Amino acid sequence: MLVSKKVVGSVAILCAGMLPLAAALWSLIILQPQETKLFIEPPSIVYETLIKGERFSINITVANVTDLKSYELKLSFSTPMLGLVGIKLLPEENLPNGNFNVASGTLWMNVTYESAPITTDQAVALAIITFEIRNSGESPLHLYDAKLADSSGNLISHDTVDGMVMVQRHDVAIVEVTPSTNETYVGRTVNVTVTAKNNGDTPENFTVKVYHNNTLFDSFNVTNLAPDENTTITFNWNTSDVAAGHSYTLKGEASEVPFEANTTNNVHIDGAVKVKIIGDVNNDNTVNIDDLIAWDTAYGTSEGMPNWNPQADINGNDEVDKEDGILIIENYP
């Protein structure tokens, strides 16, 4: 394909003519003033544990402002969680003179600079606000009804950005431990259900352990349990690991999570299981004629029938039959 020198020259002239225009447009973009911004600094404060009475400070900050002579604003916060304990007006060299009032979780401020107004393209703190922590939770730091004015009293257009304070509560608990039966024969399996709950404010990972007396017999890792949610785990306890003729208390335990302040509810003791001698139907720690009488009374029954006695079902086949009677006789002293 052939292109004439005339066309090439025209294109070159056109491009050359556009360069100054492009440069001018770019200069306008660069020189375009940025919007004035009023914001909380730092924007987010997170405490992993509650220490009542601890203090922290935030700045009410302005950036990209010209001729800021005065301002008025409101700052709201959660009073159950935070208490306002201090206000310092800045910059000191501009001689800030202000009035303020705190009521129902809202700080009202009205400030005028008696010296030079503020002109800056950088972030400049207008006030330091100090809070005291009262409780855990979340508190937005909401800036609203803000008015920025120049030396002539004209309002300055601006964007407002809020902040947030979080005091997190970490608290996991065992709330229930329940065995499937309170009476069983040695060697049988007892199902133990343990309910754990996250009483805190953030998802938690922890381990649930279950004991008979002080002997650990199983554990389970709970992952990402959401706040105010619970989970129920069923453990299988094979009673072959204990001596017959004794009662064993069940205990559930949740491992401590990072920053957990309350560990008193991590352990829950509830329910006892009597592990009996094979053939001890009436649970008196001996196998004798009384157990045969109890077996005979329940003979031929299964669950739901009159005279059904699960303790007479010694072999655990869900019915009382002659095999159960044989086991009683075999375990006579």
d(CA 61, CA 296) in angstroms, rounded, equals 87
Q: How much is the pTM?
A: 0.73
Q: With 0-12 CB in 10 A as exposed, 13-18 as middle and 19+ as buried, what is 4?
A: exposed
Q: Supply the pLDDT for residue 199.
A: 96
Reading the block at residue 17, the tokens are 């003519």
Task: Identify the H or E element spanning 298.
Answer: helix 289-298
Task: Identify the H or E element spanning 147.
Answer: strand 137-149
Reading the block at residue 68, the tokens are 């800021």
Domains and CATH numbers, the chain: 36-167 (2.60.40.680), 169-276 (2.60.40.10), 284-333 (1.10.1330.10)
Single-letter amino acid code for the residue at 226: A
Task: For residue 126, give the nearest of 56, 42, 70 by alpha carbon.
Answer: 70
For the chain of 333 residues, list the mean pLDDT of each consecutive stretch of 10.
47 53 49 83 95 96 98 98 98 97 97 97 97 96 98 98 97 97 95 97 97 98 98 98 96 97 95 94 94 94 94 93 93 84
Q: Supply the pLDDT for residue 24.
A: 52
Sign of the C-alpha dihedral computed for residues 35, 41, 47 and 52 taken in this order: negative
Contacts of 6 (CB under 8 A, 6+ apart): none
Report CA Rg, the chain: 38
